[in-house]
Amino acid sequence: MIARVRAGEPEAYAELVRAHTGIALRAAAALGAGSDAEDVVQQAFVKAYRALGRFRDGTAFRPWLLSIVANETRNTVRAAVRRSTLAGREAAFVEAEPVIPESADPAAATLEIERRAALAAALRKLSEEHRLVVTYRYLLEMDERETAQALGWPRGTVKSRLNRALRRLERLLPDFRPRERGESRG
């Protein structure tokens, strides 16, 4: 069957998909994909198709496919946890009372609240990976190494995504000037 797929017979891959969809769905569900099981399996079949060149002849397709399903399930569950954790942190960031002394000028306090709301709205417009890197690096105040470790990305990826995210934020918030270290809030 694999030889037929490699020879360019799309119906052969469709047969493999039909033959293994049930077990793949059961595996994804058992590994924790929940309501995302169908999406996980679909993505696993796409990845398996793209990786057929690396499939070793003489080995069984099912275990190979199920390892892809397991990896895809793990990625999906991890991403869902990150999304929910990040969403919770963003909500806490937006809802948190700004640290403004009561003696502060009411106009300055209002400006700080507006500034936080504008930043939160702009963060929501970023892609997930850009929102993650900005949140970890600046809102959670992690250094570059910690951010890379937390996200499971190489440091170079953190640097490039952070750079792109900050450029996007500059476009979304043209009047927003980040505070310099030591600059007061009020």
pLDDT value, residue 162 = 93
Residue with tokens 């702009």: 122
pLDDT value, residue 128 = 82
DSSP sequence for the chain = -HHHHHTT-HHHHHHHHHHHHHHHHHHHHHTT-GGGHHHHHHHHHHHHHHTGGGPPTTS-HHHHHHHHHHHHHHHHHHHHHHHHHHHHHHHHHHHSPP---TTS-HHHHHHHHHHHHHHHHHHHHS-HHHHHHHIIIIIS---HHHHHHHHT--HHHHHHHHHHHHHHHHHH-TT--PPPTT----
pLDDT value, residue 182 = 46
State pTM to two decimals: 0.47
pLDDT value, residue 103 = 58
pLDDT tens digits in sequence order for the chain, 186 residues long: 888 888 888 888 899 999 999 988 988 887 778 889 999 999 999 999 999 888 888 877 877 888 898 789 888 888 877 666 666 666 666 555 555 555 567 777 777 778 778 887 888 898 888 987 887 787 666 688 777 877 778 999 999 999 999 999 989 988 765 544 444 443
pLDDT value, residue 157 = 95
Q: Distance of CA 17 to CAs 3, 49, 92, 143, Å?
A: 15, 10, 44, 45
pLDDT value, residue 47 = 94
pLDDT value, residue 184 = 45
